[in-house]
Structure 1
Amino acid sequence: MSPADPELSLVIPLYRSAGSVAALVQRLAALEPGVAWEVVFVDDGSPDDTAVQMRSALQRTPLPALLIRHSRNFGEHQAVLTGYRHARGRYVVNLDDDLQNPPEEALRLWQHARTTGLDVVYGDYRQKRHAGWRNLGSSFANRTAHWLLDLPERFYLSSFRCVAGVIARQAAVYAGPYPYIDGLLSQVTQAIGSLDVHHDSRAVGESNYNLRRLIRLWLTIFTSFSLMPLRLATLLGVALALVGLAVLAWLLLEFLLHGTLVPGWLSVISAITLFGGLQSLLIGVLGEYLGRIFLTVSGKPQSFIRSMDRFRAVECPGALDRTGGRHDGVAP
């Protein structure tokens, strides 16, 4: 890191956030971390005028910020990785754009990480303010991640997290089209902890997460960072083969003891349905892996940057004046 780099970077992905950006910037501008800091906003291809509203809000505040625009909607984890690549802070905190993650709590996460020396600190919500179905889906995704990624069970893998800058930038080296932030972080460090934080109610709009996005997240967790599904498929195949041998032995014994028996239609149809369904499931698991490998090898982009706007200079001794700088295209 350069001496001119900030101590703290906040990374905030934006999507359909036109109604909340003014309040978000106002809350951020009121923060007083006491160190050089910056905010990296990543507009993930919002179909509304989120970028216009954000530019207008940033031009009216002294907030040192970078606004990055994706050319289309790639996904939250892709947007966070883009923010990690351009964040220069010694610590990076990423939080949501809807103010359900209070910016003041971001400073607590950062201070806790700095005090404890942990590489990753997750915000553990004292009381979640999401809908019931969303909490259920998130709980299942967390249990899946803990199981497949061998992560400690004692904390919740929230999207409100503080990461040491060196760890964040190492995770951002990943260029595949199916990123999962927690999986990437778990591959780099085991110095992970949590801190109880507040989770506020949404003031504007509604959540962009739906059942389809949650299913996509589950598939990414299952297939991108673990071979466990393939190993389970192998074990299931072995178990079914043993069951088949046992049934064959039983039929041979019946034939030897009682002679030829007329098989029942119900048992035949049941066996065909069961084994046919399991074979389809196993083929689907293999197909999911092969499809993701194909898209990765064929160069499906993780994200693409349309433009970047720098607002104000980071307040560091000796920092270069970057006020008002604008860059179009992909950053180096």
Structure 2
Amino acid sequence: MTDALPAAEGLSVTPADTPADTPVGLSIVVPVYRGAATVGALVEALSVLRPAGGLEIILVNDGSPDNSAEVCRALAATATVPLTYIEHARNFGEHNAVMSGLRQARGAFVITMDDDLQNPPEEVLRLYDHARLGGWDVVYTRYAVKEHEGWRNLGSRFANGVADMLLDKPKGLYLSSFRCMSALAVREVAKYSGPYPYVDGLLMQVTQRLDSIEVKHLPRAEGRSNYTLKRLVLLWLNLATNFSVLPLRLAILAGAVMGVMGIFAAAYVMFEGLSGETPSGWASMMTVTLLVAGVQFLILGVLGEYVGRAFLSANGKPQGVVRDIVTSEGRRS
């Protein structure tokens, strides 16, 4: 049961699992977190676009601690294009918010983008037309120059390098949150109900019709990135443990390597004993002990992460809890 606020004139509150039936050409899904200062300008810029087949905007407030909820409700009340506002009961994470938005999208194609205006709204039509006219299921964007902080760019390169190893994707394809997906890809991705979604990992399992185009990337208009080092590490764990068994195989390899090293170390100790020398052996013993113990704890940690995620999934940890959904069909200007 939702505790939605009364709907304003021109708005309606829609059950969380019942998107409107009338299709449009393009849906734009925007996860909102600390975006009160920028989401209004973004919606205004998107509202003037005229993509083939029509446009709808979906805002997903992922438990933002600022007044994003009030701003988004006001935007829904005055929208000149169909706009859906989804409110999460708490913060679940960007990819969880995107999943909630995808389930409400009606578009033949769906674009996801951030609320910080670093993705220029005028690039939306280029991205949409490239996917639509080229018959691609997914088109990612790449940047000639990224206007993120240095550590964030380094983290992105690391995550994409790991994705090259873990995911079945074209090597070097940059995984950006500014992406366009076909209705087919969106429909299949939205079927995932686990608590740890990674949209790009799901897309790689759905289709191989992938492409990318280069777009502009602007400096952040307000504030600073909501992605902390902790959030980036958690996102990497979603990638590493939800969509690949490679970490388990690396753990097996590490165990095998340490086993071989142990055999050589044992042979060396026996040789020393037979040679008649009587070294203390303390340093070599402690070195081998610490190496073996470290690898064992690493393996246990990897196994524990898999088991813990399986446990939480089996116990029904929610992917996202939608408090209410407000829809507006837009006001003709």
Alignment TM-score, normalising by the size of structure 2: 0.90
Residue-pair matches, total: 314
1:123 aligns with 2:141: yes
Tell me which residue corresponds to 2:3.
Answer: none
1:290 aligns with 2:307: yes
Paired with 2:189 and 2:78, the residues of 1 have a C-alpha distance of 34
Instruction: Check whether the contact 1:36–1:314 (CA below 8 A) recurs between aligned residues.
Output: no
Tell me by how many angstroms 1:21 deviates.
2.0
Question: Could you say what secondary structure the match of 2:234 adopts?
Answer: helix
Tell me by how many angstroms 1:95 deviates.
0.5
Question: Could you say what secondary structure the match of 2:211 adopts?
Answer: strand
What is the alpha-carbon root mean square deviation over aligned residues? 1.8
Tell me by how many angstroms 1:8 deviates.
0.9
Question: Could you say what secondary structure the match of 1:283 adopts?
Answer: helix
| 262-271 or 197-206, which deviates more | 262-271
Paired with 2:201 and 2:21, the residues of 1 have a C-alpha distance of 31
Q: Which amino acid aligns with 1:214?
A: L
Instruction: Check whether the contact 2:168–2:205 (CA below 8 A) recurs between aligned residues.
Output: no
Instruction: Check whether the contact 2:87–2:323 (CA below 8 A) recurs between aligned residues.
Output: yes
Paired with 1:3 and 1:184, the residues of 2 have a C-alpha distance of 25
Paired with 1:163 and 1:112, the residues of 2 have a C-alpha distance of 11
Q: Which one scores higher on RCO, CA 8 angstroms, separation ≥ 6?
A: 2
Residue number among 38, 58, 63 corresponding to 1:40 in the alignment: 58
1:192 aligns with 2:199: no
Tell me by how many angstroms 1:314 deviates.
10
Tell me which residue corresponds to 2:7.
Answer: none
Paired with 2:305 and 2:32, the residues of 1 have a C-alpha distance of 29
Tell me which residue corresponds to 1:247.
Answer: 265
1:303 aligns with 2:320: yes
Tell me by how many angstroms 1:275 deviates.
1.4
Instruction: Check whether the contact 1:128–1:199 (CA below 8 A) recurs between aligned residues.
Output: yes
Relative to structure 1, is the Cα distance of residues 84 and 314 closer, same or farther in structure 2, using a 3 angstrom cutoff? farther
Instruction: Check whether the contact 1:183–1:225 (CA below 8 A) recurs between aligned residues.
Output: yes
Q: Which amino acid aligns with 1:275?
A: V
Tell me which residue corresponds to 2:329.
Answer: 312
Relative to structure 1, is the Cα distance of residues 193 and 314 closer, same or farther in structure 2, using a 3 angstrom cutoff? farther
Runs of 5+ consecutive residues of structure 2 not aligned to the other structure: 1-19
Deviation readout 1:313-332 (Å, 9 max, x if unpaired): 699xxxxxxxxxxxxxxxxx
Paired with 1:3 and 1:234, the residues of 2 have a C-alpha distance of 50
Paired with 1:261 and 1:286, the residues of 2 have a C-alpha distance of 41
Deviation readout 1:63-120 (Å, 9 max, x if unpaired): 2111110000000000111111110111000001111111221211110011211110
Alignment TM-score, normalising by the size of structure 1: 0.90
Q: Which amino acid aligns with 1:150?
A: D
Paired with 2:110 and 2:22, the residues of 1 have a C-alpha distance of 16
Q: Which amino acid aligns with 1:101?
A: N
Question: Could you say what secondary structure the match of 2:24 adopts?
Answer: coil
Tell me which residue corresponds to 2:166.
Answer: 148
Tell me which residue corresponds to 2:67.
Answer: 49
Paired with 2:130 and 2:145, the residues of 1 have a C-alpha distance of 20
Question: Could you say what secondary structure the match of 1:127 adopts?
Answer: coil
Tell me which residue corresponds to 1:66.
Answer: 84
Q: Which amino acid aligns with 2:234?
A: R
Paired with 2:132 and 2:78, the residues of 1 have a C-alpha distance of 31
Tell me by how many angstroms 1:272 deviates.
1.7
Q: Which amino acid aligns with 1:240?
A: M
Tell me by how many angstroms 1:55 deviates.
1.8
